[in-house]
Amino acid sequence: FLVPVTSQCCITLKYAKKFNEYDYGPSGLPLELSSHPHKGIAYLSTYLGATNALKKLGIFFAGIGPKEGSACVIREGNLLQCVKNNDILRSYHKPVNGTAVLWNSADEHAKQNSGWIIRQDGKVSPEQAPHLCLGALPQCGLHLVSRDSQNRLTFEYHLELKESQNNLIPNDKKGIPLTLSSHPNCGVVYRSESPTFEVHNFTVVHLCIGGPSESSALARFSKSKELVLDEHGGIVMFVVGGLLERGRGVIAKRYNCDQPRPGQPFQVNDDGSISPVDAPHIALGFPEIKIPNVECPDEVSSRLTSQTVDSSKERHKNELTKYL
């Protein structure tokens, strides 16, 4: 995610100096972190599996994982381009505080406004928003997992939530805390840093798993079985992209228009978990991490030869200097 450059959540690159001096070969350099030893910037799909809908669009969310899974990149001007897939690193939407960061196919549209400033201290800022930089957040995001997964969440007040599916809570009453029985003193909470950001005609609110339990979001069901959260002016739980499949992130939205899009209907299960009505085999949980088998490639396409790197270095040398 993008966070303020003054945030304690900023991350820093281990090889910032080498990137700025183009001191690497055609295989590029891994995006290892100095701020988080033994970690690096990677494709989330390396650990969580690719999401079909986004894969078709050439979009893969970026994340932080073991350094062995770090993406290896070169600098094409001020772009950061993965040598294995030719994808470029960019913000999901307009670079504002809280925006997610992803890997995107390197077409001309994606390249627009996707440049990065690599600072001497290793922080990485969008050219369009130098007051922001790449960051890592301490809380774990809410996801969909298999119903029988050990990563499935169960809720302390599931009986009250189940009852509220049919007997709706009046608007003048507080919702039911999404406190967890599977994880003591934790609940579904709002992200501590940059919890919201604006996208087109709606507000996105990030949902995480964290504590203390007193900070748990308050929930109620709508007539159409949506999970509505009391805070942030009344927001609705959504599965990212609308596809009900394992590994999908779960967020909350508030549409700022006359005809808001409905959220997915949810149900409370007898075991205390919560599932989409249309996909009872999955449930709310935290990411199921798999071990990657990823290395920096020794050979890349002819377009990414050392000559390309050298010419790119000369072409953008003066442009880069002013940012350092």
Query: How do residues 236-262 score in pLDDT, each as one tens digit?
Result: 999 987 888 888 889 898 887 777 778
Asked whether the CA dihedral 159, 162, 164, 167 is positive or negative, the reply is negative
Share of the chain above pLDDT 70, in %: 81
When pLDDT is cut at 50, 70 and 90, the band that residue 47 belongs to is low
- 38 burial class (0-12, 13-18, 19+ CB within 10 angstroms)? exposed
The pLDDT of residue 71 is 94
The answer to whether the CB of 127 falls within 8 A of the CB of 231 is no
Pick the residue with more confidence: 92 or 78? 78
Name the most confidently modeled range: 190-204, 205-219, 250-264: 205-219
pTM of the model: 0.66
The pLDDT of residue 49 is 56
When pLDDT is cut at 50, 70 and 90, the band that residue 36 belongs to is very high
The pLDDT of residue 167 is 81
| Residue 70: pLDDT over 60 | yes
| Residue 319: pLDDT over 60 | no
- 95 burial class (0-12, 13-18, 19+ CB within 10 angstroms)? buried
Token readout for 254 is 């508030």
The pLDDT of residue 51 is 53
Name the most confidently modeled range: 79-88, 110-119, 203-212, 301-310: 79-88
| Residue 91: pLDDT over 80 | yes
Window from 3-12, 194-203, 216-225 with minimum mean pLDDT: 194-203
Asked whether the CA dihedral 83, 86, 87, 88 is positive or negative, the reply is positive
Give the separation between CA 35 and CA 19, rounded to whole angstroms: 17
Residues 299-307 have a mean pLDDT of: 30
Span 163-187, pLDDT tens digits: 988 888 887 788 999 999 999 999 9
Share of the chain above pLDDT 90, in %: 45
Arithmetic mean of pLDDT over the chain = 81
